[in-house]
Amino acid sequence: MKRTILALSLGLVCGLGAHQGWFVTHRPRPVDDLESQWEWMREDLRLDETQVARIRALHEQSSPQLLALARRVAQMRREFAAFEKARRSSGEVDFLEFARYVDQQRALDRECVDSTRRLVAATVDVMRPEQRRQYLASLGPEFEAVAASVPKT
Amino acid sequence: MEKPQDPLDSLLDRWGDTTLEPSEHLEAETWRRIAHAATTAEPERRAGWLACIEVAFARPSFTVAFVAACVLLGLFLAEARVSHLQEARSRQVVQHYLRLIDPLVEDAPGVKVVAEVAKP
* ipTM over the 0.90 cut-off: no
Q: How far apart are CA B60 and CA B66, in angstroms?
A: 10
Does A28 touch chain B if contact means CB atoms closer than 8 Å?
yes
Percent pLDDT > 70 in chain B is 77
Angstrom distances, CA of residue A10 to CA of B65, B71, B77: 12, 10, 18
DSSP B31-94: HHHHHHHHHHHHHHHHHHHHHHHHHHHHSHHHHHHHHHHHHHHHHHHHHHHHHHHHHHHHHHHH
Which residues from chain B sit within 8 angstroms of residue A139, using beta carbons?
94, 97-98
Write the CB contacts of B72 (distance below 8 Å, at least 6 apart in sequence).
A18
Which sequence spans correspond to the domains of chain B? 76-120
List, for residues A140-150, the tens digit of each pLDDT value: 777 766 656 55
Hey, which of A112-116, B10-14, B35-39, B93-97 has the most confident mean pLDDT? Answer: A112-116
For residue B77, pLDDT over 70 is answered with yes
- Which residues numbered 43-102 in B keep a CB inside 8 Å of some CB on A? 53-54, 57-58, 63, 66-67, 69-75, 77-79, 81-82, 85-86, 89-90, 92-94, 96-98, 100-102
d(CA B117, nearest CA chain A) in Å: 6
Does A75 touch chain B if contact means CB atoms closer than 8 Å?
no
Q: How far apart are CA B15 and CA B109, in angstroms?
A: 101
For residue B106, pLDDT over 50 is answered with yes
**Mean pLDDT value of segment B39-63:** 81
List, for residues B21-33, the tens digit of each pLDDT value: 667 788 888 888 8
Which residues from chain B sit within 8 angstroms of residue A20, using beta carbons?
78
Q: B6 or B17: whose pLDDT is higher?
A: B6
pTM metric for this prediction: 0.59
Does B15 touch chain A if contact means CB atoms closer than 8 Å?
no
CB B78 within 8 A of CB A19: yes
Does A66 touch chain B if contact means CB atoms closer than 8 Å?
yes
Does A63 touch chain B if contact means CB atoms closer than 8 Å?
yes
List, for residues A81-124, the tens digit of each pLDDT value: 888 888 888 877 778 888 888 888 889 889 988 898 889 989 98
Percent pLDDT > 90 in chain A is 17
- Which residues numbered 38-57 in A keep a CB inside 8 Å of some CB on B? 40-41, 44
Q: How far apart are CA A90 and CA B117, in angstroms?
A: 42
Q: How far apart are CA A98 and CA A79, in angstroms?
A: 11
Q: To probe the interface with B, which of A12, A40, A62, A124 has the most B CB atoms within 10 Å?
A: A40
- How far is C-alpha A128 from the chain's CA centre? 20
Among residues A143, A141, A144, A139, the alpha carbon closest in space to that of A45 is found at A139
- Predicted local confidence at residue B78, as pLDDT: 96
